[in-house]
């Protein structure tokens, strides 16, 4: 089945509502635990657009052969993916509270034992290689599904990203769409002045990719860009999504220390207060 939502103006309101809901779920699952807040909060709208509007998938049948595939290459941001999978129906939302607990299926990085997870990731730079294999496999088997890979901009410093990008363009994997979380931060701090990937657009175009740029928190721009990417005939596509690390919580936004940290009780209450009241 295809998970779809009404194709009218209410779609943007619904998706933004979902994004706020996901951020609240993310904060609640972090209570008393360390969590990669920055990189998880920056990808919320991207995941919401994919799972609640773009992708063909069936939460009741996670292994459906015709489903689109999603790979979270920047695996440390998995809390956002868990929240989206729960809200989409892959497992109960109440299960989010077991995040990183012993024997839980919701560990600190994606694992295949979690319903809806397509690849075990966490060691950066590997997700695009996994996705390229899936995309090539689809072509060889005459399948029409798409493969989506979400990478980080700091992760793009890894050599395997560029090796895989050459493979993808050489085999004209137009059924592969990469989304880069361009939040301009790595674990060590702002990328500017360190090893940055600018000019990112020129680099990917030089590797013969179809390149699009969007505001990664604008659901309308994300939808339009991904739809344009799906029209590519002979090139893989990358959507460079400009985002804010820690988006949605004022004291976390663009703060290096919140790459991986724990909320105090006061901060926990403040974060939920800033996100406001929302019902599923």
- Is the pLDDT score of 105 beyond 90? yes
**Residue 162: which of 119, 136, 133, 197 has the closest Cα?**
197
Q: Distance between the two ends of the chain, CA-based, in angstroms?
A: 22
- Is the pLDDT score of 2 beyond 60? no
166 three-state secondary structure: helix
pLDDT tens digit string along 138-164?
999 999 999 999 999 999 999 999 999
Q: In terms of residue numbers, what domain contains 134?
A: 8-275
Tell me whether residue 126 is in a domain. Answer: yes
- Tokens found for residue 87: 């809200």
Tell me whether residue 238 is in a domain. Answer: yes
For CA atoms 149, 153, 154, 157, the dihedral sign is: positive
Tell me whether residue 2 is in a domain. Answer: no
CA–CA dist 279, 234 (Å, integer): 43
| CATH number for position 242 | 3.40.50.970
Tell me whether residue 3 is in a domain. Answer: no
Tell me whether residue 197 is in a domain. Answer: yes
Res 277: pLDDT: 64
Tell me whether residue 172 is in a domain. Answer: yes
Residues 6+ apart with CB under 8 A from 250: 274
Report whether 150 contacts 142 (CB < 8 A). no
User: Cα 111 from chain centroid?
Assistant: 15
233 CB-contact burial (10 Å; exposed 0-12 / middle 13-18 / buried 19+): exposed
- Is the pLDDT score of 9 beyond 90? no
Question: How many other C-beta atoms are found inside a 10 Å radius of the C-beta of residue 139?
Answer: 15
Question: How many other C-beta atoms are found inside a 10 Å radius of the C-beta of residue 9?
Answer: 8
Tell me whether residue 280 is in a domain. Answer: no
In the chain, the number of structural domains is 1
pLDDT tens digit string along 28-74?
999 999 999 999 999 999 999 999 999 999 999 999 999 999 999 99
> What are φ and ψ of residue 270, in 5° steps?
-65, -40
């Amino acid at each position: 089945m295809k998970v779809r939502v009404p194709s009218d103006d209410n779609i943007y309101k619904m998706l933004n509502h979902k994004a706020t809901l996901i951020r609240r779920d993310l904060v609640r699952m972090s209570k008393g635990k360390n969590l990669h807040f920055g990189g998880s909060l920056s990808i919320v709208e991207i995941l919401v657009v994919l799972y609640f509007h773009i992708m063909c998938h069936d939460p009741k049948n996670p292994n459906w052969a015709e489903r689109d595939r999603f790979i979270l290459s920047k695996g440390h941001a998995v809390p956002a993916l868990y929240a989206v999978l729960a809200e989409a129906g892959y497992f109960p939302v109440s299960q989010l509270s077991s995040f990183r607990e012993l024997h839980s299926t919701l560990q600190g990085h994606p694992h295949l034992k979690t319903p809806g997870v397509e690849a075990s990731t966490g060691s950066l730079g590997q997700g695009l290689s996994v996705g390229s294999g899936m995309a090539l496999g689809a072509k060889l088997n005459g399948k029409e599904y798409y493969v989506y890979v979400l990478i980080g901009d700091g992760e793009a410093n890894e050599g395997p990203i560029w090796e895989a990008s050459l493979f993808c363009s050489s085999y004209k994997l137009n059924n592969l769409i990469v989304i880069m979380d361009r939040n301009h931060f790595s674990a060590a701090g702002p990328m500017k002045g360190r090893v940055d990937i600018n000019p990112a657009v020129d680099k990917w175009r030089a590797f013969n990719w179809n390149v699009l740029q969007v505001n990664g928190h604008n659901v309308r721009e994300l939808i339009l860009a991904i739809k344009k990417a799906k029209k590519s005939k002979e090139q893989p596509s990358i959507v460079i999504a400009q985002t804010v690390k820690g988006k949605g919580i004022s004291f976390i936004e663009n703060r290096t220390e919140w790459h991986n940290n724990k909320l105090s009780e006061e901060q926990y209450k403040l974060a939920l207060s800033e996100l406001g009241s929302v019902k599923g």
